[in-house]
Amino acid sequence: PRVEYLNYEVLDDHGWHADDDDLFEKAAGAGLDDVDYGSFHVYPRESVLEAAERNDFAWPFACRGGACANCAVVVLSGALTTRVDHVLPDEIVDRGFQLACNGIPTSDELQLLYNVKHMAELEELLL
């Protein structure tokens, strides 16, 4: 599977919002650094976080075990399944939040926002 990623923290700088329909088109045309926008492949049985790290990206994490949500991403297209998730309530998962530390792609193409731990929905949950 191929993951196209975008750093949530650059959205504000550009006046973009997570629910913009053309968010990834705008990101692709904005000349962002590889750290903030790009794509990589995920090997079979590899988690999205592991694939990011194999590509030398330092995405946030802490427990690596589905208990802290530091590694949370928002899946905007495609699908991810988590083997262990002790932290995200169903209503948050329904809004697209997933855990990268043990999230395995179940679609060939995914678009996701990483670094979303400061999104309001998640911050409220983690307080």
Residues near ligand FES (CB under 6 A) are 61-64, 66-71, 87, 99, 101
Shortest Cβ 67–ligand FES spacing (Å): 5
Instruction: Name 41's Cβ contacts closer than 8 Å, sequence gap at least 6.
Output: 1, 2, 3, 51
Query: Distance (Å, rounded) from C-alpha 54 to C-alpha 35?
Result: 13
Shortest Cβ 88–ligand FES spacing (Å): 8
Q: Which is nearer to ligand FES, 27 or 73 (CB)?
A: 73
Q: Which is nearer to ligand FES, 20 or 53 (CB)?
A: 53
Q: Which is nearer to ligand FES, 27 or 50 (CB)?
A: 50
Instruction: Name 68's Cβ contacts closer than 8 Å, sequence gap at least 6.
Output: 62, 87
